[in-house]
Structure 1
Amino acid sequence: MEMNQYLEVFIEESKEHLQACNEQLLELEKNPEDIKIVNEIFRSAHTLKGMSATMGYEDLANLTHQMENVLDAIRNQKIKVNAEILDVVFLAVDDLEAMVLSIAEGGDGKRDVSAAVSKLKLIEKGQSPIQFETKTETAAALAGPSPAMKSTYDEFEWTVIQQSKEQGFETYEITIALRGDCLLKAARVYMVFEVLEKIGEVIKSTPSVEQLEEEQFDQEFSVTIVTHEPKEDVEQKLLKVSEVEKAKVSSLLLEELRQHEQETETEAVSSSSEAETLLAENQPKHEKKAQAAKQTSNKTIRVNIERLDILMNLFEELVIDRGRLEQISRELNNQELHETVEHMSRISGDLQNIILNMRMVPIETVFNRFPRMVRQLARDLNKKINLEIIGADTELDRTVIDEIGDPLVHLIRNALDHGVETPEVRKANGKNEEGNVILKAYHSGNHVFIEIADDGSGINKEKVISKAIKKGIITEQTASVLSDKQAYDLIFASGFSTAEKISDVSGRGVGLDVVKNTIESLGGSVTIDSKVGQGSIFSIQLPLTLSIISVMLVEIEEEKYAIPLSSIIETAIIKKGDIMRAHNQKVIDFRGKVVPLLSLKDIFDIPSDQQESEFLSVVIVRKGDKMAGLVVDSFIGQQEVVLKSLGNYLTNVFAISGATILGDGQVALIADCNALIK
């Protein structure tokens, strides 16, 4: 077997073992006395240690060995499992995952794991890992900013700092630490920079701004700023930013800076010499590893999402031309042309599936972060919560995956904070002390459904309505006729919150309106079902892809409109005499249900000289459990079309989600059924 095959197997198996460790550690927390679970984790760690040592990744092998020692002590009942110990083992697994990721990307797998190793050694000796944290923090306070976090400056930055000093500005190096449970680190970084830019000029950040935006840092980062503000004021303003745990501001002295720059240059030359010597001594081994990493990366390539977007746009143009060719073929009635176009349609259909599949990503890439998040939040809230994930292999378009993460975080935090009760309350209500949260994804037609269900206290309709009236969202007259689901929808209103006490988890009166807006901007919808005392279900409906959709083309006067097939139940021809009126609205009896009729001619203000015929063509559409009948002149047929936006000048057109170019060059507007059904 070639070296590259060994490396590929090592990376894949390491990921599997680490995923198993994560899952089994969460199980161990629920069943701390179960030695079988400890044995499973030990086996995964032992295998990973052996593989790492064989491949020459010493940092990985050493950390796994130390983790293995702790697990061995647990299974031999020398140490008793508790949350404190599991926190450290989770930290070690995070380090291992980072090293394996580095190797998979062609790196050397090296990482500073001294903090995790020291804590594991204390646990092995039967001591508390908190002792290590206290010592480390004291030493860090005495030593000042760590060399790793100190910034180095280029000539331009050095000149700016010097000139600022001459003009009476202060230069500060600020080390900022976010809380360990901070979930949206990039958002906090943005807020920190917003504060700093109001009081001065940011000269440099370590890591870089790009890395901070992509959350490529642990919890700490440093920023250099020039300002007139006193040091204490800068610190106080930064500490007001939510989830900023520490803001250490130190003045940058020119003498220290010069000395630091000289030391950095010396270290760089020394490190470079050592690296060259080491490379010369171990040339064959290094060549093999580099070649193996290179060959492994050839089997799978990382493609910028922008390139896939360009490919998709080109294919969309091809779909438009395909429609045009199909129409020409029908008009000319040439057999050879007809066969060629038919063959091209099949080929382009296969190509379409391949391009769409290239953009499809399993939703587990989003779901995988939630078990650890729920564990931490449950501890912060002093609640016992079991998270069950179903359908993590369900696939979604990459653009949808990128956007859906934050809304799901909000909904899960909301379920934990507002939904699931504390163990004492659950016990008093005759429930199991441990609450259940189910995160489920599944396909249905051209849609993906994601459900977040909890068995908590449910939504109190009266409390919601009372708060909505108080906030001026609805009037008392409107409140009296609201159904349960309409009342639940009020929690999506901007600034709405029923929380009596504001917490760090949720209840700040923001979040759920953003959730709804984000989901609807993706062409989806969110609904709520709840029973007081039994729990709630938030159901999200999303399209599989956002660019090519199947529609029913209809005609109104001489204009063509497209209605998405995903919204259509069926089409029907009805007699004018079957139309009834209820609450000043035209309605029909559709299979035992009263369905309102909407005339697209009236809604889109299409001029007409024709008189209505005895029979009407109706498209029955739905949004959740609501239905409506759209009256049109005639049906043209089903077609796959490319969804194009209306541009920046037509952003607020009612009930139109976009447009498409048909085969004959005409533009057809795409009706937004979600906006039509209220």
Structure 2
Amino acid sequence: MSLNLPENILNDFIDETREILVAVDRELLELEQDLNDTEQINKVFRLIHTLKGSASFLGFDRIVDLMHDFENTLNLARNQKASITPDDIKSLFKRLDTTRDILDDIRSKKLSAGVNFIAEEPKVAKKASAIPDDKKPVKTVAEPKIGEDPSILYEVSKREPVATADQTTRVKLSRLDTLSQLVGELTLRRNQLLTITSKTSVKRKEDLLSLQLNETVTQINRVTTELQDAIMETRMMPLQSVFARFPPLVREIAEKYGKKVRLETEGEQAEVEKIAIEPLSESLTHIISNAIHHGIETPEERTLAGKNEKGTIKIKAWCDGNSIVVTASDDGKGMDTNLIVQKAIAVGNITLEESHRMTEEQILNLVFSPGFSTLDTAGLGAGRGVGMDVVKSSVTRLNGSIKIDTVHGRGTTIELRLPLTLSIIQALIVEVGVSSFVLPASIILETVRIDTHSLQSVDGNELITYRNTPLPVVRLSELFDIPSTPGKWEYVTIVNIAEKTFGIVVDRLKGQEDIAFKPVNDFLAGCGATGATSLGDGSVAFIIDLGEITEALYLFEGLETNTYKKPVKTDDAISYKVLLAEGSKPFRKAMVEAFRKAGYETTEANSGRATLKAIMESKKPFDLIMLDCDLPGIGGIALAEHLKSHAKFKSIPVVALTPPSKQVDTDYGFRIGIEDFLPKLEAENLSIIARRYIIKNVQISH
């Protein structure tokens, strides 16, 4: 580094300053409630004075100047020479934001913040270098005066040890990541050792060496588990770091839309694994932004409704078993289900007839539909359409769930539930044929053994009756194209994820293990697995992408609630030929099933290469091509551009399917000739929407 300040001192200053800024944010919000609260003014002053002192010692003049102005404003109020005004509060908050920007600049070394890191030494360094080298050290031991007992002086000068909080040290996150990876490998070797010794102990029960080996392995198992727990604790972070980001956000958005909003937080000390911090923060940012923008009324509207002119948003977190629960509540308008239905019908998510059979919960869940956020949500009661598909996708990827509770005119609560740990998880190992798969134990409700005739079939879809409730089931053998080798019995694992319950049919249950989660790379995206792990017997098992399966099972929701009407075959549809190019196998299979039931002649492809092959080999031209934007290989957009550049295929309408959590350059897509971009909705809805593009193209060609 080219700075004279050691990196650890610089980092400590930045981290400690950020902590002080969080505290000042909180105290300023309290002061805003009573601008004449002298005690509160003094609290803020002490924090600012501490921050100013640290910045001055290290020579960060820009921060010192900001805090000096801050102190002057507070001092006028402390000395009763002036009163704090709402404009003063806004100005003070802006100074805090500016200080945060300076800290970012210091961290990135883009600006000096008053210290020229390259050419100018910090003041503290200058002061230190000004001491002459030839000066002798000064004696600091005082001689006792005549007649005084030195022991008495010693007793007077003794200090009681200062009580301190838990001693802490700062550790780079990369080191924690390395430790976590190593303990993951150790867990794997432990599992392998347990597997080996369990086999040898059966053969050599009376062997003393075998008994000693078993005892040693038992101790290794215990120590490994304790080490695993200890490492996991180091990766846990309090939600305070997340909650601290919200006061400036609330203040900024409320001011932008002319709202008055009070933020309350509870449970900041609840902890979650580090890798979940950013997704959780982004999700809550979406929710809070929407609550202020559309949920909380203006002061005038709240007064007319008999409410306090200042709205309240409360973020609360707590641990519930092996889960962390975070709720975001507001006392605004609540959600208007009638408006949600109108919007959903307008975008084609549902029909009017289907809406009449929907429960309130199902209507509320429509705001999570991809594409719902592309609507003009200004008229939507609580405005939860903006980005909520992204929120759901983010939470589901973490094996979490999200649900909504609302009272029209009273407010809305959105609950996020995530597993406490993500890198090492307790899992159930299942087998299909000779392949092993992993199911997180946290989402398993029960496993049941059935004979092959216990499942029911409705419209070609299998169901299981679980506690007097029909549930859809999915066979892993069909999802992964693996030959099934069941014995007399099959096993159904009942799981619950994203507020949906369904069964997964497997051949055998292999047992439970603590596994180290390793995500798959982008090349394997859409393969039906979120990660992989090595098992105790040395084999590799894929961690099933339950979110992807859940999305595919939306097709079957009507079987449980009779909500959705199956598409009716029509003579018009029978002659139409559709190519469905989709990388996600569960979703592709659901689309193929829905399109075929609607009467279309359907061809499927799982990659760019397979799509081109299907187009070239088809004897009859396709009437419509639906392309996944994330199609493995060439990619959906690039493939569409290739097709539209050839006269032979240019007239075929192409519709691109967009993933919920990815930004797509639609302007470019329209320029190259893509007819439309559709979110990955329920498969049946796509089969209905597709018809209008086919009819439109037929009319143009004639």
Bucket of the pairwise TM-score, normalised by the shorter protein? 0.5 to 0.7
The 1:639–1:304 alpha-carbon spacing in structure 2 relative to 1, beyond 3 Å, is closer
Corresponding position: 1:660 with 2:528: no
CA distance in 2, matches of 1:669, 1:340: 30
Alpha-carbon offset, residue 499 of structure 1: 4.1
* Counterpart position of 2:265: 389
Corresponding position: 1:332 with 2:208: no
**What secondary structure, in the 3-state scheme, does the structure 2 residue paired with 1:311 have?**
helix
Corresponding position: 1:483 with 2:359: yes
CA distance in 1, matches of 2:451, 2:118: 86
CA distance in 2, matches of 1:277, 1:576: 83
Write out aligned runs for 1:218-233 (5 A).
Answer: none
* Counterpart position of 1:317: 185
The superposition leaves residues 4-30 of structure 1 with CA deviations (integer Å, 9 ceiling, x where unpaired) of xx9999999987765443322111112
Alpha-carbon offset, residue 35 of structure 1: 3.3
Alpha-carbon offset, residue 564 of structure 1: 0.8
The 1:68–1:481 alpha-carbon spacing in structure 2 relative to 1, beyond 3 Å, is same
> What amino acid is the match of 1:675?
E
* Counterpart position of 1:454: 330
Alpha-carbon offset, residue 76 of structure 1: 4.7
The 1:332–1:488 alpha-carbon spacing in structure 2 relative to 1, beyond 3 Å, is same
CA distance in 2, matches of 1:342, 1:309: 27
Q: 2:169 aligns with which of 275, 296, 300?
A: 300
CA distance in 2, matches of 1:437, 1:469: 30
Alpha-carbon offset, residue 364 of structure 1: 1.3
Q: CA RMSD in A?
A: 4.4
* Counterpart position of 2:225: 349
Q: 2:37 aligns with which of 34, 39, 42?
A: 34
The 1:507–1:273 alpha-carbon spacing in structure 2 relative to 1, beyond 3 Å, is closer
CA distance in 2, matches of 1:562, 1:499: 41
Corresponding position: 1:630 with 2:504: yes
CA distance in 1, matches of 2:418, 2:384: 27
Write out aligned runs for 1:263-274 (5 A).
Answer: none
The 1:433–1:331 alpha-carbon spacing in structure 2 relative to 1, beyond 3 Å, is same
The 1:98–1:598 alpha-carbon spacing in structure 2 relative to 1, beyond 3 Å, is closer
5+ residue gaps, structure 1, are 1-5, 103-206, 219-264, 289-297
* Counterpart position of 2:298: 422
CA distance in 1, matches of 2:54, 2:97: 18
* Counterpart position of 1:120: none
CA distance in 2, matches of 1:458, 1:555: 46
**What secondary structure, in the 3-state scheme, does the structure 2 residue paired with 1:442 have?**
strand
Matched-pair contact (CA < 8 Å) for 2:296–2:331: yes
**What secondary structure, in the 3-state scheme, does the structure 2 residue paired with 1:496 have?**
helix
Moved more, 319-328 or 566-575: 566-575
Write out aligned runs for 1:372-387 (5 A).
Answer: 372-387=248-263
CA distance in 2, matches of 1:330, 1:446: 29
CA distance in 2, matches of 1:411, 1:529: 13
Alpha-carbon offset, residue 581 of structure 1: 6.1
Moved more, 523-532 or 584-593: 584-593
Matched-pair contact (CA < 8 Å) for 1:498–1:507: no
> What amino acid is the match of 2:169?
T
CA distance in 2, matches of 1:273, 1:340: 57
Alpha-carbon offset, residue 604 of structure 1: 4.0
CA distance in 1, matches of 2:429, 2:367: 36
The 1:283–1:481 alpha-carbon spacing in structure 2 relative to 1, beyond 3 Å, is farther
**What secondary structure, in the 3-state scheme, does the structure 1 residue paired with 2:530 have?**
strand
CA distance in 1, matches of 2:112, 2:121: 25
* Counterpart position of 1:147: none
* Counterpart position of 2:130: 281
Alpha-carbon offset, residue 331 of structure 1: 1.0
Matched-pair contact (CA < 8 Å) for 2:59–2:122: no
Q: 2:88 aligns with which of 76, 85, 89?
A: 85
Q: 1:673 aligns with which of 539, 542, 546?
A: 546
Matched-pair contact (CA < 8 Å) for 2:328–2:413: yes
Alpha-carbon offset, residue 310 of structure 1: 3.6
Matched-pair contact (CA < 8 Å) for 1:316–1:642: yes
The superposition leaves residues 162-185 of structure 1 with CA deviations (integer Å, 9 ceiling, x where unpaired) of xxxxxxxxxxxxxxxxxxxxxxxx
> What amino acid is the match of 2:230?
I
CA distance in 1, matches of 2:523, 2:69: 61
**What secondary structure, in the 3-state scheme, does the structure 2 residue paired with 1:383 have?**
coil
Corresponding position: 1:518 with 2:394: yes
* Counterpart position of 1:115: none
Matched-pair contact (CA < 8 Å) for 1:497–1:507: no
Write out aligned runs for 1:465-544 (5 A).
Answer: 465-492=341-368, 493-494=370-371, 496-497=373-374, 499=376, 511-544=387-420
CA distance in 2, matches of 1:50, 1:208: 17
Matched-pair contact (CA < 8 Å) for 2:27–2:44: yes
Alpha-carbon offset, residue 480 of structure 1: 3.9
CA distance in 2, matches of 1:371, 1:396: 21
**What secondary structure, in the 3-state scheme, does the structure 2 residue paired with 1:649 have?**
helix
The 1:608–1:359 alpha-carbon spacing in structure 2 relative to 1, beyond 3 Å, is closer
Determine what percentage of the aligned residue pairs are the same residue: 34
CA distance in 2, matches of 1:73, 1:380: 29
Alpha-carbon offset, residue 568 of structure 1: 0.7
The 1:664–1:491 alpha-carbon spacing in structure 2 relative to 1, beyond 3 Å, is same
Matched-pair contact (CA < 8 Å) for 1:567–1:673: no
So what's the TM-score if we normalise by structure 2? 0.61
> What amino acid is the match of 1:300?
T
**What secondary structure, in the 3-state scheme, does the structure 2 residue paired with 1:431 have?**
coil
Alpha-carbon offset, residue 65 of structure 1: 5.5
Q: 1:444 aligns with which of 311, 315, 320?
A: 320
Alpha-carbon offset, residue 551 of structure 1: 0.7
CA distance in 2, matches of 1:310, 1:623: 30
The 1:502–1:464 alpha-carbon spacing in structure 2 relative to 1, beyond 3 Å, is closer
Alpha-carbon offset, residue 272 of structure 1: 7.8
Matched-pair contact (CA < 8 Å) for 1:579–1:587: yes
Alpha-carbon offset, residue 644 of structure 1: 2.8
Matched-pair contact (CA < 8 Å) for 2:401–2:499: no
Corresponding position: 1:619 with 2:472: no
CA distance in 1, matches of 2:24, 2:309: 26
Matched-pair contact (CA < 8 Å) for 1:463–1:498: no
> What amino acid is the match of 1:411?
I
> What amino acid is the match of 2:187?
V
The 1:583–1:61 alpha-carbon spacing in structure 2 relative to 1, beyond 3 Å, is same
Alpha-carbon offset, residue 611 of structure 1: 6.8
The superposition leaves residues 598-619 of structure 1 with CA deviations (integer Å, 9 ceiling, x where unpaired) of 4444444443465754xx5332
Matched-pair contact (CA < 8 Å) for 1:445–1:566: no
Corresponding position: 1:565 with 2:421: no
5+ residue gaps, structure 2, are 1-8, 138-166, 202-209, 555-702
> What amino acid is the match of 1:526?
I
> What amino acid is the match of 1:667?
V
The 1:12–1:522 alpha-carbon spacing in structure 2 relative to 1, beyond 3 Å, is closer
The superposition leaves residues 499-553 of structure 1 with CA deviations (integer Å, 9 ceiling, x where unpaired) of 46599xx989863333333333334333323222122222223333332211112
CA distance in 1, matches of 2:537, 2:272: 32
* Counterpart position of 2:580: none
**What secondary structure, in the 3-state scheme, does the structure 1 residue paired with 2:542 have?**
strand
Alpha-carbon offset, residue 326 of structure 1: 0.5
Matched-pair contact (CA < 8 Å) for 1:468–1:496: no
> What amino acid is the match of 1:315?
V
> What amino acid is the match of 1:543?
P
State how many pairs are aligned.
Answer: 499
